[in-house]
Every structure is written in C-alpha cells, then in structure tokens.
A and B are shown apart, each in its own frame.
Chain A
C-alpha cells in the first residue's frame, strides 16, 4: 500500500515524483538559508534605511501607493489591443448572440459531416 502511494509516476515520455522534488526543494532552501547567513548585518530598524525613496519626493498615502488591478499588465493589454478588441466584440453579453454561436457551431459541424 505504502509503496504504491509513494511510487514514481510515469507519463510515457518522462516521470514525476513530487516527493523527490520536495526533497530537492528543501535541500535547495537549506543551501539558500546558509548562504543568507553569510550576508551583511548592517540593516537597522527605525533609521532612514527603511524609508521608501521616491527620487526625493515625499511618499504618498498608503492607499495611493498600491497599484490597482486595472493598471497591472497595462502594457500587455495595450500592445495586444487588436486582439482584445476582437475578443470584446465577441463577448457582447447578448443572449441571442450566445445562441447564435451555438447555431454557428452546429452549422459548421453539419457542413463538415455533410461534405465528407
């Protein structure tokens, strides 16, 4: 039973054993932790070291510092605007269109099976 549970899983072109992976991960973290121990200990709380530095400008309120969801990936959506325009046109939110897509798929399948 136990050996069945922890056995390696073959995908036909590779294998995957999460337990081995976890072990490797733990070892990696250990190494990182040890390396981290070699670092400098000059960080002092309560001094200017912990202040945010915005090119000399004063820091905004906390609320405004948070990047809103709308602005995350702005560049991605902007550069793929044509694709998004197409998708937006597709998602009209009109229930007739939803059914129309169904009719279209049915028509395409009819054509494929009818022609062949």
Chain B
C-alpha cells in the first residue's frame, strides 16, 4: 500500500496534531474529568493509525520501527509497575498511593464535594495515567502497524 491521495495525506497530517493534543489532554486530566490513560491513549493511537492509513504502512514502517514502539511500551509498563513497587518501598504496601498527601508533587488533597479540579492532586494517579497512556499509544499503534505491514507484504498472489 503506497498511501492515499495527496488530499487525504494533507488533511491527515493537519488533523494529527489536534488529535494528539486532545488525547494528551484526556490523559493529563484523567483524575479530574471523564477519561484517563486508556481513553486518551486510544485517541492518540487512532490519530497515529490515521496517519498510517493515509501514508501507507511501508512509509510509516520506514519512520517508526516496531522495535521502537515495543521499547516505548515496555517503558510505559515498567513505569507503571515501578510506581506500584515504589509504593511498596516507601509506604510498605504494593500499589500504595504514596505521593498522596506527601510533600512531593501531586500532593494537594481536594476539599470534599463539588470542586474545581486541581491538576496537582491525586498522588500517583497522574503518573500511572501517563504510563498507561504511553503504553496504550505504543501498544495499539504497534498492533495496527505490524498487522498492516505484514498483510501488505503477504498480500497479492502469494499463498
């Protein structure tokens, strides 16, 4: 697949930054508004998939290797489980929200009831949101990319 027409390519590359910003917003505000790492990650990954469809899998494979995506995904996963293990080291329980109500970042405790959201709250939750977001972006895009590339190679008359 060598990609679609010029119109599609242009529009896809124009829309991609907006999709990405929107996805990042969803990830960053996961602990305040509807959304979170998975949802935002899926949005960014679908933006990337749009680029993939517009430009074709061979071109995209030239820019991004599945190895890099795999590394990125591993990094996300390690950050996620690492946060959980840090909870074990600092607070004595696996998966403890050790940043919450501490004197580091993300430490503001919201007053109860309906409030305006404070981004700097919720302890380890934003970190985990970002880790999961990274993981989902890399993971979903890797799945789409690998499948598209492999089927392009296999397609045609080859049995």
Tell whether any CB of A sits under 8 Å from a CB of B in the complex. Answer: no
Interface residues of B (CB under 8 A from A): none
Interface residues of A (CB under 8 A from B): none
